[in-house]
Amino acid sequence: MLEKIANGVWKLVLGEPEELTPVKYRKFDINKAGLESLPQRDVAPEAFQALEWKKTKRGIAVTLPMETTEDIFGFGLQLKSLNMAGRKRRIRVNSDPPADTGESHAPAPFYVSSAGYGLFADTFRYTDFFMGTNSVKGRSAGKTEVNQIHQEFSESALYALKRAGEKRTIIIDIPGVNGITLYIFSGILKEAVQRYNLFSGGGPLVPMWGLGVWYRTYGGSDQDKVIQTAEAFRTEHIPVDVFGLEPGWHSHSYSCTYEWSYLFPEPEKMIEALKTQHYKINLWEHAFVYPAAPIYQDLLPYSGDYEVWNGLVPDFADEKAVEIFSDYHEKNLVDKGIMGFKLDECDNSDYNPSNWSFPEVSTFPSGMDGEQMHNGIGLLYQNLLGNIYRKKNLRTLSQVRASGALAAPLPFVLYSDLYDHRDFIRGIVTSGFSGMLWSPEVRSCENGGDFLRRVQTVIFSAQALLNCWRIPNPPWKQVDVEKNLRNEYMKEEVYYTQEIRRLLQLRMSLLPYLYSAFMEYHLYGTPPVRAVVLDYPEDSKAAVIDDQYLFGDSMMVCPLTLEDGTGRTVWLPKGTWHNFFSGEIFEGGREYQISAKLEEIPVFVKNGALIPLAEPVEYVSPDTVFRIRVKSFGKGEQCFALYEDDFESLDAEKGAYNQVLISRDRDGGISWERRGTHPIRYELEI
C-alpha cells in the first residue's frame, strides 16, 4: 500500500524490511515546509500502479515498467556515465571501480526518471538496478528477421539494444533481505530531486568561508613550514580561506592516532598563528584507530571483528562508539579551534594490495555486517563529525571520500584520487542528482596548461580545492612534482602566480551568488551545481550533456580539459545566452564551436539574469562585508534574492537571515531592498 507521507512523497513497504537502513540512521527531519512550497501532488506516479515484487533465493526483486524513451539519472556520484537508461548499476562503495558498473565513492540507491518520479530504496545492501536492460521470456516470440550481413556484423550493431518499440522493465535486485521500504517522489527530474533532498533534510547550511579557496598543504610540513606557507599567501595576495593538514600531523597516520606528531610540537601556537591570519584549519584523518590512539582501548568493544591498517574499525552505527569518537574529537581538536575534517579512506578498495578495508563478512556490535557498513560508514562518519559542530551551533564544511543515501544535509564535499579531468567534470554533473557535493580537486598537473584548465573547473564547483599534499611549494610555482620537491621553480612562475590570483579572485567574487544558491538548496532542495537536463528537461540534447553544467540558477559553465586544447563544442538550450565575460550574445537551441584561450573558460548566462558580484576578499572573517555590484544580462523584469546572515551559526535554520532582493524593472532600472533586520553583510553599489 502506498502511503503518502508528505507533499509528493509516498512510502511503500514490501515484505519485512531490514532494521538497519539509511532512514534509521538519518539525523535530520524531513523538511516539510520545503516540500509544501513545491507544487501539490496528490496522485502517486503512474509507474507504481504496475509495480510487482517477489521473494527470490537471493533476497527480493522489485519490477517496474519503463518506457522506451525514458531517461534515468542519479545513483549518486557516477564518474563514468550520465544517463542510466539501458544500464545496470551496482550500488557498492568502491574507490577503484573497475569499469562503469555504478560502483563509486558515493553510489546511492536513488534515481529519477523522466517519466515523472524519483525512487529511493532504503537499504545499505549492494543493490543492483537493471534500468531497462532486460526482456522477459516470450517478448521476442514470433520474430522472424534474418541477419543482414553487411549491416549487422559490426560490434555496435551486434550488441545494440534490440528492443525498438518494446516497453522495458526496471528490476531492483536486493540481496539478503526479506523486504524493502521504497520512497517515491513525484515530479519531473528537478522537482523529484528537490523532494528527495528535502526528504533527506534539505541541503546543508554552509559557512561562507567554506565556499572560499581551500589549500591542502604538503604532508611532510612541520609547524613552522605551515605557518610560513600560510603567511606567503597573505603576502602574495592569494585568496585562501581553508588550510588543510595532511597525514603528517598524526603521530601515526595509517591507522590514526588523532594526536599531534613531533612535527607539531606546539599545535596551539600554530592554530593561533593561522587563526590570526584568518585561516580555518581542516585536519586529514580516517576512521581506523591505531593501538597507540588514546581512544583505542575504549573503542575495542565497540568495533568490528576485522582490522584495517592495524587499526580498529569503530562501529559508527553504535551510539557508544559514536560518543567515544566524538568526545575525543570535540575536546582535543574542535574545542582547540579545528574547523573541519577530511574523512579519508572510508571508501573500500578492491585493488589496493594492503589490508585497506574490512571484508563483507565482518560483523559489528550494532548488528551491521561488512556489506552494510561499506555502504554506510561514510554517512555515519559524516553524521558523527558534523554533529560535533551542530551541537555548538557552528557550521562546518568538510571533506569525505565515501557517501550514499540521504546525504543532502551533510556538510561534506566528496573528492577522489582518480584524476581524469573529464571524469571529474562528469562528477560535478552527476553528483547533483542525489544530494551530493563534489570537488574536482586540483592535484598534480601535466603542465601549466593542465593546471589552468583544472583550476578553471574547480573554481566553478562546490568546493574550490587545491590538494597540494604531495608538494612543498604551491603548484603555480612548479607543477612538476619532482622539481617541486627539489624546490625548483618554473621560469613562468610569475605568469602562473598572476593567473592563479586572477582565477581565485573570480571565485571570491562569486561567493554571495553561490551562497544564495546553497541557501536555496537548504530551503528548497535545489542542487546549487547541477546537470543541464534538470533545468531543461524538454531540451532534445540536455539528457546527454555531461561536460557542461549549471552553477547556481543562471550560469552555464563549459570547462575545457588539456586534451580539448583551445576549443570545444557547447550546447545552449533554447533562449538567448550571454557570454559571462565578454557579453557576446548567442541564440540557443543549437550547438556552437567555442574557442577559449588557455586563460579562458566559457561561461554563459541565461538571458535576463542578475548576477551579484563581490569585490574579491582574500578570506571571509566574521566582520567581512561584501561590496557588491550587480551585473545585468538582458532586459525585462527580474529579481534575485541574496541571502544574508552571520554565515557561521545555524540560526538561519530558525529563519535568522535577511533577503536582499535585487530587482530590475521594465525599463532596466536596478534597485534593491533588504528584508529582515539581521546583521548587514552586503553593501550594494547601485
Binders of ligand GAL among residues 455 to 474 (CB under 6 A) are 467, 469
Q: Name the 3-class secondary structure at 509.
A: helix
Residues 480-499 that bind ligand GAL (CB under 6 A): none
Please say whether the beta carbons of 365 and 300 come within 8 A: no
Residue 261 or 649 with smaller CB distance to ligand GAL? 261
Q: By CB under 6 A, is residue 304 in contact with ligand GAL? A: no
Provide the minimum distance between the beta carbon of 401 and ligand GAL in the complex, in angstroms, as a whole number: 6
Phi first, then psi, for residue 202 (nearest 5°) are: 85, 160
Judged by beta carbon, residue 103 or residue 191, the one nearer ligand GAL is 103
Residues 232-271 as x/- pattern, contact with ligand GAL by CB under 6 A: --------------xx------------------------
To 10 degrees, what angle do helices 493-509 and 511-524 make? 40
Q: Which one, 246 or 259, has the nearer CB to ligand GAL?
A: 246
Report whether 498 contacts 455 (CB < 8 A).
no
| Beta carbon nearer to ligand GAL, 63 or 95 | 95
Query: From the CB of 243, what's the least distance to ligand GAL, in Å?
Result: 14
How many CB atoms are located within 10 Å of the residue 246 CB?
Answer: 22
| Phi, psi angles (nearest 5°) of residue 175 | -80, 155
Choice between 78 and 416, CB closer to ligand GAL:
416
Residue 417, interface with ligand GAL (CB under 6 A)? Answer: yes
345 lies in the site for ligand GAL, by CB under 6 A: yes
Q: Is 344 in the site for ligand GAL (CB under 6 A)?
A: yes
Query: Would you say 205 or 471 has its CB closer to ligand GAL?
Result: 471
Q: How far apart are CA 31 and CA 18, in angstroms?
A: 25
Residue 504 Cβ vs ligand GAL, minimum distance, rounded to whole Å: 20
Number of residues that bind ligand GAL (CB under 6 A): 9
Question: Which backbone phi and psi does 535 adopt, to 5 degrees?
Answer: -90, -20
What is the rounded CA–CA span in Å between residue 537 and residue 323? 45
Binding positions for ligand GAL, 198-237, rule CB under 6 A? 219
Write the interaction track for ligand GAL spanning residues 45-64; mark x where CB under 6 A is met and - where it is not: --------------------
What is the sign of the dihedral through the CA atoms of 286, 23, 100 and 195?
Answer: negative
b/e code 453-466 from CB counts within 10 Å (16+ = b): bbbbbbbbbbbbbb
Least distance (Å) between residue 285 CB and ligand GAL = 10
Given the complex with ligand GAL, which of 358 and 682 has the nearer CB atom?
358
285 binds ligand GAL (CB under 6 A): no
On whether the CB atoms of residues 192 and 112 are closer than 8 A, the answer is yes
CB 270 within 8 A of CB 263: no
Which CB atom, from 113 or from 439, has the smaller least distance to ligand GAL? 439
Q: How far is the CB of 429 from ligand GAL (least distance, A)?
A: 21
317: closest CA among 61, 124, 558, 91?
Answer: 124
Q: How far is the CB of 326 from ligand GAL (least distance, A)?
A: 22
In 329-384, the DSSP E strands lie at 338-344
Q: Identify which of residues 415 and 518 has a Cβ nearer to ligand GAL in the complex.
A: 415
DSSP codes of every residue in 659-679? EEEEEE-TTS-EEEEEES-SP
CB of 216 to ligand GAL, least distance (A): 7
Task: Please name the residues in contact with 60: beta carbons below 8 A apart, sequence gap of 6 or more.
Answer: 14, 15, 53, 54, 174, 177, 178, 179, 180
- The gap from C-alpha 72 to its chain's centroid, in whole angstroms, comes to 19
- Contact between 573 and 531 under an 8 Å Cβ cutoff? The reply is no
Select 247 or 427, whichever has its Cβ closest to ligand GAL.
247
Q: Closest distance between ligand GAL and the C-beta of residue 472, in Å?
A: 15
Question: Which residue number, 218 or 513, has a Cβ lying nearer to ligand GAL?
Answer: 218
- Please, what is the minimum distance in Å from the beta carbon of residue 342 to ligand GAL? 7
> Cβ closer to ligand GAL: 190 or 443?
443
Q: CB of 219: closest distance to ligand GAL in angstroms?
A: 6
Contact 611, 551 (CB under 8 A): no
Radius of gyration of the chain (CA): 25
Total count of residues recorded for the chain: 686
Rounded Cα distance between 454 and 562, Å, is 8
Smallest distance, ligand GAL to C-beta of residue 247, A: 5
Q: Are the beta carbons of 203 and 409 closer than 8 angstroms? A: yes
Of 75, 284, 515, 619, the one binding ligand GAL (CB under 6 A) is 284
Write down the H helix ranges in 475-535. Answer: 481-485, 493-509, 511-524, 532-535
Least separation in angstroms between CB 454 and ligand GAL: 15
Please identify, using beta-carbon distances, which residue of 122 and 345 lies nearer to ligand GAL.
345
Instruction: Report in angstroms how near the CB of residue 601 gets to ligand GAL at its nearest.
Output: 24
Residues 6+ apart with CB under 8 A from 318: 302, 364, 365, 366
3-state class (DSSP) for residue 603? strand
Please give the order of strands across the beta sheet that includes 72-76: 2-6, 9-16, 178-186, 117-121, 107-113, 72-76
Closest distance of CB 458 from ligand GAL, Å: 14
**183 versus 284: smaller Cβ distance to ligand GAL:** 284
Instruction: For residue 580, give Cα distances in angstroms to 70, 186, 553.
Output: 34, 34, 14
CB of 126 to ligand GAL, least distance (A): 23
Closer Cβ to ligand GAL, 192 or 338, answer by number: 338
Give me the residues that bind ligand GAL (CB under 6 A), please: 219, 246-247, 284, 344-345, 417, 467, 469
